[in-house]
Structure formats: C-alpha cells, structure tokens
Copies of this chain bind each other. A is one copy, B any other.
Amino acid sequence: MISVYGYSPSGNCHKLRMMLGHLDRDHRWIETDSAHGATRTPEYLAKNPNGRVPMLETDDGRILVESNAILCWLAEGTPYFGGDAWQRAQTLSWLFFEQYSHEPYIAVARFICGWAPPDSPRRAELPTLRERGHQAFGVMETHLAAHAWFSGDHYSIADIALFGYTHCADDGGFALGAYPHVLAWLDRIRAQPGFVSMPALAAENAERIALSRTG
C-alpha cells in the first residue's frame, strides 16, 4: 500500500488522484493542508525538506516527491507512460513544460484569487501571471489543433499533468473560450475510464474566487 500526502484543491495533488483513479490503485490519501502550514512541520520537513505536496510514501518508509515524478513512477509499465525512448522523452518534455511554463502562472493566479486575502498586495501580480498563462494556453492550443493528445496517439501522463491546473484555470480568472481545442481536450479527458473530478472547494476559497471575479 502507498500513502499519498495531498491537499485536495491543489492541481498538482489532483494529478495523482486522477492517475490512481485510472489505475484503480489502492492507496491511502492523507489530506495535508499546505495552505495552513501542514507541510512546514518538523515531521513533514524531515520527509520532504522542500516542504511541498504531493508526497508519496511506501509502507517501508521510502519517499518520492514532485507531482510529475510521482506520476511517472505510478504510470511506469502502463500505457499512460508508454512508447519508445523518444516517445517517453516527448511525454517528459510536456511534464517539464507544465511545471516551468504553465503551473507557475496558472496555479499561482488561482492561489491569489482563492487563497490569498482579498486585499493581498499579491493581486498586483495577476496581470503578468495572466499574460504568461495565456502564452502557455497558446502553446497548448497550437499543439492540440494538430493532435488529439499531448504525447503520442493516446491519453498519457502528459495530459493528466496539464489537466491538473488547466481544468480549474477559470478560478484564476482565465477565460478559455479562445482555446476551442483545449476545451475539447478537457472534455475528452473527462470521458476517460476511471476519471475522478476534483472535490469541491471549501466555502472560504469558493467565496474568494467569486469575489475575485466581480472585484
């Protein structure tokens, strides 16, 4: 049995919940509220000195961190991370794109809208975050105009990783109407066997997001 330390509203954590759902893999989910310090305790930092979720722990106490590395390990030997070395490198390429050119803008804008106080000075970051997030969506739209999936001819961990924060980008003030291929791809993912939706947000976060839309 594996344990996954995750914060349910986090797109990075949700990737693992999706993968575990598709694989129908037994696991223990340990809810870990990173927005309220649960990854900064001495006990947690002893396991992950970088103090982030998600984190995977095996029953014999071995630790693996970084959402996309965990995805690779869970998917090893399955069609979700298949193909030859070139194909797998293409899959990895999209995983690195997600962590470098997508998540730091799209996830952070969502965090500011839904988790930071409404009067946070971090709201000043939103225009730049949105500009760069739209650049990432533009790259995705260009790819999806010619391909059904991000890596190879079927659904893979590249799609799961990019779904993580794309499907809830609206929370951060991103309108996806200009990206019809992205919207169609989101629907194709939702139709996959074993697909798991992200749990509803806590009222406090949902209210801040609603306020952010009107404010």
The answer for the CA separation of A77 and B85 in the assembled complex, in Å, is 9
- Residue positions of A touching B, CB distance < 8 A: 49-50, 62, 64-70, 72-73, 76-77, 85-86, 88-90, 92-93, 95-97, 99-101, 103-104, 138-139, 142-143
Are B97 and A66 in contact, with the CB atoms below 8 A?
Answer: yes
Q: Is the interface of A mostly helix, strand, loop or mixed?
A: helix
Q: Are B69 and A92 in contact (CB under 8 A)?
A: yes
Contact A73–B85 (Cβ < 8 Å): yes
Q: What's the Cα separation between A85 and B70 when bound, in Å? A: 11
Chain B residues with CB below 8 A from A64, complex form = 86, 89-90, 93
Kindly state the separation between the CA atoms of A146 and B70 in the bound complex, as whole angstroms: 23
Q: Which of B67, B76, B86, B96 contacts A99, CB < 8 Å?
A: B96
- Contact (A96, B66) CB under 8 Å given A72-B89, A73-B89: yes
A104 near B101: Cβ-Cβ < 8 Å: no
**Nearest-Cβ distance from residue A134 to partner chain B, whole angstroms:** 13
Q: How far is the CB of A209 from chain B (nearest CB, A)?
A: 24
